[in-house]
Amino acid sequence: MTGKVVSHWQRPVGQANAVGYELLKASETEYLAKSLATAFELPAVLKVKGVNGFGGGPFYNPEDNSITLPYQFATAVIGVISETNPQGSETEWGEAVGAVNSFIFAHEFAHALIHNFNLPVLGREEDAADGIATVLLLKAEDGATYAAEAAEFWDGFSGRQNPPQLVEYADNHSFDRQRAYNILCWVGGSDEAVLQALAENEIVPEERLASCPAEWQLLRESAEQVLKPHLKHGANLAPAA
């Protein structure tokens, strides 16, 4: 039984968990999990677990090949989004939450790919997972928007690291704001018009933007090289036109 996804959602307890549970359901996380798992020849069943609480946030566990999605993390996502964009409508917030949850799921799925296929990781695994997640999302029609929304979320979330504490310097993740800039750099590197917009609106400093097309190309080619042998027949990693 390969390439299968089994999901299990705990019954949400209390308001904070119920909100996150509904958001994850509305984000079609299950659909994304199935479509990603369908694209790759995963050697083992991938488990997706929706759980009460916040814990340390979403994570992949190689021991049982599972992705855990804590409901209260999803609840925190809408908190950050509504604070970053107080003028937004509920529909806009809902879409942004869906985008962020999709990015986060793709990030955890990237960890699963790394461990299922023993992919080489020459650098920090957390940065590699963000890179693979961006490659996976850019395959989708609105993927660039999704990735950009995720970047905006990490930027908004970065308030918790202001100023960064020792544990954050020592953490295996890059700072939230660095994650935001990396994602924007890849998305801009993949699309000339986006690159222009990032420059004109001064969203990413020009010094960084200059290297983004080359950074994206290196990421995309590297991801293709290591993932191609594991794609199911007919699937590819080309970005949506």
Which residues contact Zn ion by CB under 5 A? 126, 129
Q: Which is nearer to Zn ion, 30 or 126 (CB)?
A: 126
Q: Which is nearer to Zn ion, 180 or 195 (CB)?
A: 180
Tokens found for residue 74: 């999803």
CA distance 209 to 203: 10
Minimum CB distance to Zn ion, residue 92 (Å): 27
Minimum CB distance to Zn ion, residue 191 (Å): 25
Minimum CB distance to Zn ion, residue 11 (Å): 26
Q: What is the DSSP annotation of 20-71?
A: HHHHHHHTTHHHHHHHHHHHB--SSPEEEEEESS-TTSSEEETTTTEEEEEH
Minimum CB distance to Zn ion, residue 125 (Å): 7
Minimum CB distance to Zn ion, residue 107 (Å): 6
Q: Which is nearer to Zn ion, 41 or 126 (CB)?
A: 126
CA distance 21 to 149: 20
The count of other CB atoms within 10 Å of the CB of residue 164 is 15
Q: Which is nearer to Zn ion, 14 or 57 (CB)?
A: 57
Minimum CB distance to Zn ion, residue 109 (Å): 10
CA distance 189 to 211: 8
Minimum CB distance to Zn ion, residue 126 (Å): 5
CA distance 113 to 65: 10
Residue 69: φ, ψ to 5°: -120, 100
CA distance 34 to 47: 11
User: Are the C-beta atoms of residues 65 and 47 closer than 8 Å to each other?
Assistant: yes
User: Are the C-beta atoms of residues 126 and 166 closer than 8 Å to each other?
Assistant: no
Q: Which is nearer to Zn ion, 96 or 129 (CB)?
A: 129
Q: Which is nearer to Zn ion, 95 or 176 (CB)?
A: 176
Residue 80: φ, ψ to 5°: -65, -45
Per the listing, tokens 């909100």 go with 19
Q: Which is nearer to Zn ion, 172 or 201 (CB)?
A: 172
